[in-house]
Structure 1
Amino acid sequence: MDTLGNSFSMLKNPAILKFIMQGVLFTMIISVAAVLFSIVIGTGLALLRNYCTNKKTGILKVLSVIYIELFRNTPLLFWIFICVVFCPVPGFANKQMFGLSSVNNKLLFKATVALILYTSGVIAEIVRGGLNSVASGQVEAGYSQGFSMIQILWYIVLPQTFRSIIPTLLSQVITTIKDSSFLANVAVIELMARTKQVLSSANRYNGLNAINVSDVFVLFGVAAAIYFVINFSISMTVRNMQKAR
């Protein structure tokens, strides 16, 4: 019990708490950025897959299918390592920002790109399901009113699509937040990576000059609790939306 008490005492250290909370912030920034970009890319892919059916645009449908199936059927961790090795980094990400070194910012950018690539393939199929739920008569009605295809998609099809997929989309947000923990494998400074860093130096803070099993349970237990609180809040939002429908 004394050992467990020493492990919990680390959580009273303001520096450790601040370090972990910064990890929570980076987790949310990465997840929000990944979801927003993935919605844009995924929507484009879904539209190409559904509506590029003639000879002139058929190649776009083929390319969208290849993209979606490639990223949906391969592991996220694989793409994280691929992006860390091969993804180019723009100038703005190759600087000291957010209190991080240029090296950490480069890794953060590359890992976020991997998460966007992977998540956009999943969201594309979610959006496509929503597109398929819109009656074909809606498109015909739009044409009868003199709308172009772009206007039909923008004013008629997409609003109905996103209204129908909001619960599923929020469920994917939960998955993306959890998937961000994979970034800890390439030393990106999000919640899981920072938890591992605190654990690696726990002997300096627990007063025992050694890392104990209780340190693992306490630190990773705190990380799990944080993930649970964030994701459970979103999950309850999804549940309330489904009840309201």
Structure 2
Amino acid sequence: MSFSEQMSQLLTGNNLRFLFDGLKLTLYISFVSIILSTIFGTILAVLRNQKNRPLKFLASLYIEIVRNIPNLLWIYVIFLIFKIKSTPAGIVSFTVFTTAALAEIIRGGLNGVDKGQKEAARSQGFSKFQILLYIVLPQAIRNVLPAIVSQFVTVIKDTSFLYSVIALQELFGKSYILMGRYAKTEQVFAIYGLVALMYFVINFSISQFSRWLSRNWA
């Protein structure tokens, strides 16, 4: 039986709904984690660039500790120690880890903004907060947008860890359960093929949107 025939045999309405339920959970966890990580990562990046030593030290400490411990371990720690449910545990663990990664990316963007623009803004009476909000941050985000989007794509792919660690039935978890219902190797590969295609379409679309956004911002 050909691959296309295997696919048509497997992909009944019930199986598709089962997989799409997992996809919705994957996107929900990824979206919430990405939004929270962007907010917290920006705050940490700004703090790490401050002259206030205690704040700079605390931001640096968080970033270095979290970045150098695998995300898989953070999932275990947050789920087992804090005793929270699977979906919140997934969101919290990905937010904790991705915040540290984004903080370093955004800090690189902040450091890349020409100091002359800050001085020009000061001469026009802008406050430090206004300079950061209206001049520095927009340029910093634009400069590192491809790296930020790459991190977003990583979050979506890495949600596949959640089933093996805390039995959360996101897209990969649902596909793994579905594979258990079929015995033939061809059928398992057909499910793998569909799941791989779903991940690819989502992540490729995000990457293309990032390129379009970069061109328009430029």
Report if TM-score (shorter chain) is over 0.5. Answer: yes
Q: CA RMSD, aligned part only?
A: 2.1
**Contact kept? 1:77, 1:182, Cα under 8 Å:** yes
User: CA 1:177/1:3 → structure 2, altered by over 3 Å: closer, same or farther?
Assistant: closer
Q: Which residue of 2 aligns with 1:145?
A: 124
User: What CA distance in whole angstroms lies between the structure 2 residues aligned with 1:81 and 1:8?
Assistant: 38
The CA deviation string for residues 103-124 of structure 1, in whole angstroms up to 9 with x for no partner, is xxx1011111001111111111
Please, which of 191, 196, 201 is the counterpart of residue 171 of structure 2?
191
| Secondary structure, counterpart of 1:193 in structure 2 | helix
Judged with a 3 Å threshold, the aligned counterparts in structure 2 of structure 1 residues 2 and 32 are, in CA distance, closer, same or farther, namely: closer
CA distance in 1, matches of 2:76, 2:187: 29
- Greater Cα radius of gyration, structure 1 or 2: 1
Do 2:67 and 2:101's aligned partners in 1 also have CA atoms closer than 8 Å?
yes
The alignment of Structure 1 onto Structure 2 pairs a total of residues equal to 216
List gaps (5 residues or longer) in structure 2: none
User: Distance in 1 between the 2:202 and 2:120 partners?
Assistant: 42
Superposition TM-score, scaled by structure 1 size:
0.81
* Structure 1 residue ranges (4+ consecutive) displaced by more than 6 angstroms after TM superposition: none
1:50-199 correspondence to structure 2 within 5 Å: 50-51=49-50, 53=51, 57-87=52-82, 89=84, 106-185=85-164, 186-199=166-179
Specify the alignment match of 2:197 in structure 1: 225
Structure-2 separation of matches of 1:69 and 1:33: 23
Q: Per-residue CA shift, 1:190-228, capped at 9, x if unaligned?
A: 10011111122x14xxxxxxx222232111211111001
Partner amino acid, structure 2, of 1:189: Q
Q: Quick one: structure 1 residues 170 and 2, their matched pair in 2 at CA, closer, same or farther if it must change by over 3 Å?
A: closer
Conserved 8 A contact 1:4-1:214: no
Q: CA deviation at 1:8?
A: 4.8
Partner of 1:93: none
